[in-house]
């Protein structure tokens, strides 16, 4: 609830409050307070599976794949880690601790999105080092993650990576016309 409260302080009537955003950003992202945040990293994992070929014995084949892992400190101040997919699966199966960690992480992502709202570059520059476009896209597209967590990644992507300078307004093409814009008579000379 604390992170939810902080994210509410960043915004009023869907408009950012830059001074509050800056204060919260400096406090939350201060290295002295790093223990309240869940760290996100892409970790190289090795998956091994058996390959069956015609007429030969089964071979073990290894494949490297980058996977999103979360790192956090538990109540005993010990560092814990788990892949985000594994957390989501265990939470779905009813593991309370994993459900709580995932919920806390979702609130953290929502706080980050609100800290970055309306191009707050102090937060954007700090957070984008850990949560880059590739990592966020992986999580947005991962169907094994809960919808609310994927939605939080979408909000973060929007406020941190999409809504940035330079943005130029593009005049859209008019595909439709109003009847009032069409003249009632047309002359060949025109």
Q: Determine which of 38-47, 53-62, 136-145, 162-171 has the lowest per-residue pLDDT on average.
A: 53-62
Taking 50 as the threshold, does the pLDDT of residue 49 lie above it?
no
Q: Distances from the Cα of 105 to the Cαs of 61, 69, 101, in angstroms? A: 34, 12, 6
| pLDDT at position 124 | 93
| pLDDT at position 176 | 74
Residue 109 tokens read as 């992502």
Taking 80 as the threshold, does the pLDDT of residue 53 lie above it?
no
| pLDDT at position 92 | 93
Residue 143 tokens read as 């169907």
Taking 60 as the threshold, does the pLDDT of residue 58 lie above it?
no
Give just the sign of the alpha carbon dihedral 101, 106, 109, 111.
negative
Q: What pLDDT digit, counting tens, does each position of 129-150 carry?
A: 899 999 999 999 999 999 999 9
Q: Determine which of 82-86, 111-115, 128-132, 168-172 has the lowest per-residue pLDDT on average.
A: 168-172
Q: Which residues of 138-150 are buried (b: 16+ CB within 10 A; e: fewer)?
A: bbbebeebeeebb
Q: What pLDDT digit, counting tens, does each position of 167-189 carry?
A: 777 777 777 767 777 777 877 77
| pLDDT at position 188 | 77
| pLDDT at position 52 | 46
pTM assigned to the model: 0.77
Between 40 and 176, the more confident residue is: 40
Phi, psi of 30 (to 5 degrees): -65, 130
Averaged pLDDT for residues 77-82: 91
């Amino acid at each position: 609830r604390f992170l939810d409260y902080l994210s509410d302080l960043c915004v009023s009537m869907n408009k950012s409050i830059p001074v509050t955003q800056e204060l919260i950003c400096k406090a939350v992202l201060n290295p002295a307070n790093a223990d309240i945040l869940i760290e996100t990293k892409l970790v190289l994992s090795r998956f091994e599976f058996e390959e069956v070929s015609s007429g030969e014995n089964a071979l073990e084949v290894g494949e490297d794949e980058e996977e999103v892992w979360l790192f956090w400190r538990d109540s005993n101040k010990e560092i814990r880690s788990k892949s985000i997919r594994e957390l989501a699966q265990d939470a779905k199966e009813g593991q309370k601790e994993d459900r709580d960690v995932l919920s806390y992480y979702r609130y953290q992502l929502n706080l980050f999105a609100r800290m970055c709202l309306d191009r707050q570059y102090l937060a954007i520059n700090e957070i984008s080092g850990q949560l880059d476009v590739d990592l966020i896209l992986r999580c947005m597209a991962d169907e094994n993650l809960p919808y609310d967590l994927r939605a939080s990644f979408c909000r973060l992507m929007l406020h941190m990576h999409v809504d940035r300078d330079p943005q130029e307004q593009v005049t859209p093409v008019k595909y439709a016309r109003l009847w009032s814009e069409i003249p009632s008579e047309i002359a060949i000379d025109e």
